[in-house]
Chains A and B, each alone.
Chain A
């Protein structure tokens, strides 16, 4: 059924009724093949801006250096005064509660009573009970005990707001409080 083009010439052979034309290979196809071969050689030899350059590790180190240059070291934690001011702001505490539910509740329970992590509603603190100490614990984590450094994950504003919310939990009555751990700290 195929209408042979003028230059089509059938090969003499056929197999189970299947014949083959002796057509030349399409020019654009041959060109593409050569193009990929030239590309491969150029890439392998790092010619003309294509190729692996200095290699993946060097590229990574360069990228990291550029990043460090552009982003100076994280500033010191928010001051205790500023944190107390945030803790006094109902709206910000509410923001903090949302962060808490999302990130902290899994280990500290939704009401702060503690599960894997310690109870946050009592007067005992393992890593300091001042508001700036709580802020630092959240930001830097206590890796040896499984508390992640949330400062790497949450935005600084979120860390401060969740600090404010944790601060507000003190004295509340959780459903199943974990027994106190750490030092008794007077507020």
Chain B
């Protein structure tokens, strides 16, 4: 399978010409190619299922492992890391070897990378549907898998940089800069966002809490978009676009400037995901401004891609590969204009928590990543399988149905996002919310959700046509692949310095200097690393060190053991995928949900559960809003209490037994990362049992079912009834108009030491008082 891998120095009989003879490892490229498309189909199929679930909740099938909250992370992980990841590796392994005229550093490392990555994906598919998750978006996988990802990524990095070191081409081409930046930065992001305290083999708590955890997560989350879905694909574009267009790249200077500005600016942008949240405002402002400045650097890539086609536009008409590239790059241009726009606070206030963001990412994912991958694969097929493409007409068909599918998808979901955002903020003439019942704002979107199902189905149909075309081309392959022998001269140890050609970038920066860096892969790597690390530290250090960023609130206490168990259920079921816990300081938010969320409320939130999308209402102030029995019935069948609700049912909560055994270990893990648990560390189970008995008794007394004291439902009810209670003990309670809420439920009652979960049995004031 490897062919003549070893490099043999071929010397002419006279010993004068010194050409190395070697071959490229295309076997691993073929493997990655199949993996990408196969996982892509799986990931998009899961996407279609969750799209159906939003149109009609019956598609949750009443099973825990097929409910939306568990499948949504499977969809995102599969399309990002399995589909786009393997697509990047396909193109990276193919192009790198040719761009540096060397076989990969190690065939063994290439295969460890391939099989390791596929095993990680299988591990994801075997854990996410069963509720094993860290609850951080695109970083859901639990700690043992995270370690495996880090190991495999290092293998990839060593293999890649090793190949650059033993290269036979003096300078590194721009595609390689992008690959390098992606590889280095993803490692950094992955490791620092996933630091967590294990509480069992498939359970852990983020070592960061609340504001800091939110910051780290979106530093990671946005840069996952940047360095996993953008820079790797720009690298692919720089190789495959000029190859397919058979023309030179438009501008080398533009490549330099947009590469460095993109790498340097992108890393700051993450906090724009947290506008109006409890994150300090300076941080989200910095995130916004760097996002705005990212517009031009992003478009630099688009310009260099599209203008490479100058004079060759006629060719696009009958070349499906160029069609995919042109639409893909255009989608990149649209989403990188939209991104900076969405980062502007006032736009973000409307779009945040809505489907607008979903539409935005799908323009990028389906258009940019999906189409660039498709164009690349069609270009590779005849070369990798050494046979003509099975059907150009099917490739054209793939292009047209997928394009139409994207249009249907995004138009429907943009409409859904704007509609819901406007409904949330609408007030009537009497100063009340026009749509106070949240479910009205969801029911309005159902026709658009069906349109999305149609658009997504078309895109998936395109993928199936794609796979068919690939398999049929593969079947035409020769019995034995020809492995061409390549000859190239090794690099001389010493090279002449770059000639001074007088070229200056922007009239200042000598191109000669950059040409010199391009000769030094290790130096280049260090420069990239410095760019991303310095930018990160500018935001990270103040976020972690400045105390005033998170004013403490004395009444905020850790969760009781039972509440923590309930919170872990909330994480297990992926409730955070649909419910935020972050009320923004905006009048229509506080009117709907209550007092806006304060940074100090999240200090024990490992991980933070602020959420990023409201398919259901915000839950930050849920505690005490409804009686315990309401929640029991609502979990059994949400539609019995809210006819138009699209929430999956969780009837199993009333039958699942609480696993008391796990509680002490979880409390200990939390205590180790700084949550002041005190006596709860040794007395956790009896405390949890006492609280469970109280809630179960209250449910029975209210006319509900009996015998729930050891059932999971009481744990999650305990958790939900706690949400927002602590802050009511102080400022918020004082701000409540006298008599409006009376009752005077003691908010501090739920401290672990006391274990008298007052908030859980006696619902306290429901609203923040405004």
User: A and B: partners?
Assistant: yes
Instruction: List residues of chain A with CB under 8 Å of any chain B CB.
Output: 1-5, 10-11, 13, 15-26, 29-30, 32-33, 36-37, 39-40, 43-44, 52, 55-57, 59-60, 63-64, 67, 70-71, 103, 106-107, 114-116, 140-141, 143-146, 148-149, 152-156, 178
Interface status of B310 (Cβ within 8 A of chain A): yes
Indicate if the CB atoms of B289 and A44 lie closer than 8 Å: yes
Q: Which of B255, B312, B625 contacts A1 (CB under 8 A)?
A: B312
- Which A residues touch B340, using CB under 8 A? 36
Name the A residues within 8 Å of B296 (CB-CB): 29-30, 32-33, 36
Report yes or no: A2 in contact with B312, Cβ–Cβ below 8 A: yes
Stretch at the interface among B351-359, B646-654, B740-748: B740-748
Query: Is A20 touching B311 in the complex (CB atoms < 8 A)?
Result: no
Q: Nearest CB to that of A52 among chain B residues?
A: B285
Q: Which residues of A contact B285 (CB under 8 A)?
A: 43-44, 52
Q: How far is the CA of A106 from the CA of B631 in the complex (A)?
A: 12
Question: Contact partner of B253 among A3, A22, A178, CB < 8 A?
Answer: A22
Asked if B436 contacts A153 (CB within 8 A), the reply is yes
Q: Does B635 reach chain A (CB closer than 8 Å)?
A: no
| Residue in A2, A17, A26, A55 whose Cβ sees the most chain B Cβ within 10 Å | A2
B248 contacts A21, CB within 8 Å?
yes
Chain B hits for A154, CB < 8 A: 436
- CB closest residue in chain A, given B591: A152
- Chain B: which residue is nearest A153 at the CB level? B436
Interface pair B630/A22, CB less than 8 Å apart: no
Docked-complex contact A143 and B743, CB < 8 angstroms: yes
Contact A20 B310 (CB under 8 A): no
A121 to chain B, nearest CB (A): 16
Q: Does B271 contact A (CB under 8 A)?
A: no
With both beta carbons as reference points, the residue of chain B lying nearest to A43 in the complex is identified as: B289
Interface residues of B in 239-267 (CB under 8 A from A): 239, 242-243, 245-255, 257, 261
State the CA gap A33–B515 with chains docked (Å): 24
Instruction: Tell me the minimal C-beta distance from B428 to chain A in angstroms.
Output: 8
CB proximity of A99 to chain B, nearest CB, Å: 11
Asked if B627 is at the interface (CB within 8 A of a chain A CB), the reply is yes
In the complex the two chains form, is A18's CB within 8 Å of B289's CB? no
Q: Which residues of B have CB within 8 Å of A43? A: 285, 288-289
Instruction: Report the minimum CB–CB distance from B414 to chain A (whole Å).
Output: 24
Contact check, A178 vs B703: say whether CB atoms are below 8 A apart: yes
**Residues in chain A near residue B764, CB distance under 8 A:** 143-144
Which 5 residue pairs of A and B lie closest in terms of their CB atoms, listed nearest first?
A: A2-B247, A146-B627, A3-B311, A144-B743, A33-B296
List of A residues within 8 angstroms of B173 by Cβ: 15-16, 18
Knowing A20-B248, A55-B281, A153-B436, the reply to whether A144 touches B642 (Cβ < 8 A) is: no
Contacts of A21 in B (CB 8 A): 248-252
What separation, in Å, do the CA atoms of A63 and B346 have in the docked complex? 14
B111 within 8 A of A: no
Chain B, residue nearest A34 (CB)? B296
A116 contacts B765, CB within 8 Å?
A: no
Whether A23 pairs with B743 at a CB distance below 8 angstroms is: no
| Contact between B765 and A36, CB atoms less than 8 A apart | no
Given contacts A2-B309, A149-B766, contact A67 B703 (CB under 8 A): no
- CB contacts under 8 Å to A, within B711-767, are 740-743, 745, 762-767
User: Are A143 and B99 in contact (CB-based, < 8 A)?
Assistant: no
Is there contact, CB below 8 Å, between B293 and A70?
no
Q: Which residues of B contact A25 (CB under 8 A)?
A: 251, 253-254, 257, 300
Contact in complex: A106, B624 (CB < 8 Å): no
Q: A16-B95, A22-B503 are in contact. List 18 more A-B contacts (CB 8 A).
A: A2-B247, A2-B308, A3-B311, A5-B310, A16-B99, A18-B173, A18-B243, A20-B251, A21-B250, A26-B303, A29-B303, A40-B289, A52-B285, A52-B345, A56-B345, A60-B590, A64-B590, A143-B765
Residues of chain A contacted by B174 (CB below 8 angstroms): 20
Asked if B239 contacts A18 (CB within 8 A), the reply is yes
Q: Which residues of B contact A63 (CB under 8 A)?
A: 586-587
A23 touches B250 (CB 8 A): yes
User: Could you name 17 residue pairs across A and B whose Cβ atoms are closer than 8 Å?
Assistant: A4-B311, A15-B171, A17-B243, A21-B249, A33-B261, A43-B289, A57-B585, A59-B585, A60-B586, A64-B770, A106-B642, A115-B703, A116-B627, A144-B742, A149-B766, A152-B432, A178-B703
Closest Cβ–Cβ distance, residue B723 to chain A (whole Å): 15
A143-B766 contact, Cβ under 8 Å, with A21-B249, A63-B587: yes
CA distance A40 to B340 in the complex (A): 12
Contact A71 B431 (CB under 8 A): yes
Does chain A have a CB within 8 A of B276? yes
* B668 close to chain A: CB less than 8 A: no
- Assuming the contacts A18-B249, A36-B296, asked whether A143 and B630 have C-beta atoms less than 8 A apart, the reply is no
B620 within 8 A of A: no
Q: How far, in angstroms, from A19 to B250 measured CA to CA in the complex?
A: 9
Q: B315 to chain A: which residues have CB within 8 Å? A: 1
Known: A15-B169, A70-B431. A20 touches B303 (CB 8 A): no
Q: How far is the CB of A108 from chain B (nearest CB, A)?
A: 12
A2 touches B245 (CB 8 A): yes
Whether a CB of chain A sits under 8 angstroms from the CB of B481 is no
The answer to the question of B641 belonging to the interface, with a C-beta cut-off of 8 Å to chain A, is yes
Given the known inter-chain contacts A15-B169, A22-B503, please indicate yes or no for A140 contacting B243, CB distance below 8 A.
Answer: no
Q: Which residues of chain A are near B625, meaning CB under 8 Å?
A: 146, 148
Known: A18-B173, A60-B587. A144 touches B248 (CB 8 A): no
Find chain A residues with CB under 8 A from B250 CB: 21, 23
Task: Find the A residue at minimum CB distance from B743.
Answer: A144
For residue B485, CB closer than 8 A to chain A, the reply is: no
CA distance in complex: A4, B255 (Å): 18
Please measure, in the bound complex, the distance between the C-alpha atom of A5 and the C-alpha atom of B766, giving whole angstroms.
69
In the assembly, what is the distance between CA of A103 and CA of B248, in Å?
66
Q: Could you say which residues of chain A place their CB within 8 Å of the CB of B360?
A: none
Q: Give CA–CA (A31, B273) in the complex, Å.
A: 27
Question: Do A16 and B98 form a contact, CB below 8 Å, given A25-B257, A67-B587, A143-B765?
Answer: yes
Which of chain B's residues have a CB closer than 8 A to the CB of A103?
437
Q: Are B742 and A2 in contact (CB under 8 A)?
A: no
Q: Are A144 and B596 in contact (CB under 8 A)?
A: no
Nearest-CB residue, chain A, relative to B704: A116
Decide: B171 and A106 in contact? CB cutoff 8 A: no
B61 within 8 A of A: no
Residues of B within 8 A of A26 (CB): 254, 303
In the complex, which residues of chain A have a beta carbon less than 8 angstroms from the beta carbon of B406?
Answer: none
* CA–CA, A15 and B175, complex, Å: 10
A29 contacts B300, CB within 8 Å?
A: yes
> A155 to B249, Cβ gap below 8 A?
no
Question: Would A56 and B585 count as touching, CB distance under 8 A?
Answer: yes
Residue of A nearest to B766 (CB): A143
Question: Which of A36, A70, A107 is close to B630, meaning CB atoms less than 8 Å apart?
Answer: A107
Residues of B near A15 (CB, < 8 A) are 99, 169, 171, 173
Cβ of A155: which chain B residues have Cβ within 8 Å of it?
428, 430, 432
Chain B residue nearest in CB terms to A150: B436
Cα A44 to Cα B624 in complex, Å, equals 41
CA distance A75 to B293 in the complex (A): 51
Chain A's nearest CB lies how many Å from the CB of B590?
Answer: 8
Q: Smallest CB–CB gap between B610 and chain A, Å?
A: 16
Q: Hey, which chain B residues are within 8 Å of A70, CB to CB?
A: 431
| Set of chain A residues within 8 Å of B430, measured between Cβ atoms | 71, 155-156
